[in-house]
Structure 1
């Protein structure tokens, strides 16, 4: 499953690595939008298979951050 963000912003932290096991609702990243930091929760339990962004990247709304299977 691709993890997407609801609004455009900047990636300020990535809290997981490829291969990490995550549970649903674990904080996997932090975004900054409109000068506010917002945690990005995992929508599913699984294993991080791919991370498509890095800290400092600006992303559009609905952009994919990572893949969790």
Structure 2
């Protein structure tokens, strides 16, 4: 999952190795004073988390990778 816009990571709700179901909350990105929740697009296992809480991210930057 990549960032659709620049912003700030407010919260990360998953850990590496965690199994997630479709529509489970993954993280919250704040952009332009709005909080955007990212939900899992499918069932899967989290392979890596490329950001940390408080990080500023650019558009297109990798956030979460699935196995």
Give me the TM-score of the superposition, normalised by structure 1.
0.90
Give me the TM-score of the superposition, normalised by structure 2.
0.92
What are the ranges of 5 or more consecutive residues in structure 2 without an aligned counterpart? none
Structure number having the greater strand percentage: 1
Q: What's 2:54 paired with?
A: 56
Q: What's 2:36 paired with?
A: 38
* 1:65 corresponds to 2:63: yes
Distance 1:9 1:28 in 2: 16
Distance 1:43 1:5 in 2: 14
Following superposition, which runs of at least 4 residues in structure 1 exceed 2 angstroms of deviation?
A: none
Post-superposition Cα deviations, 1:30-61, rounded to whole Å, max 9, x if no partner, equal: 00000111101112210001111000101111
| Paired positions, count | 67
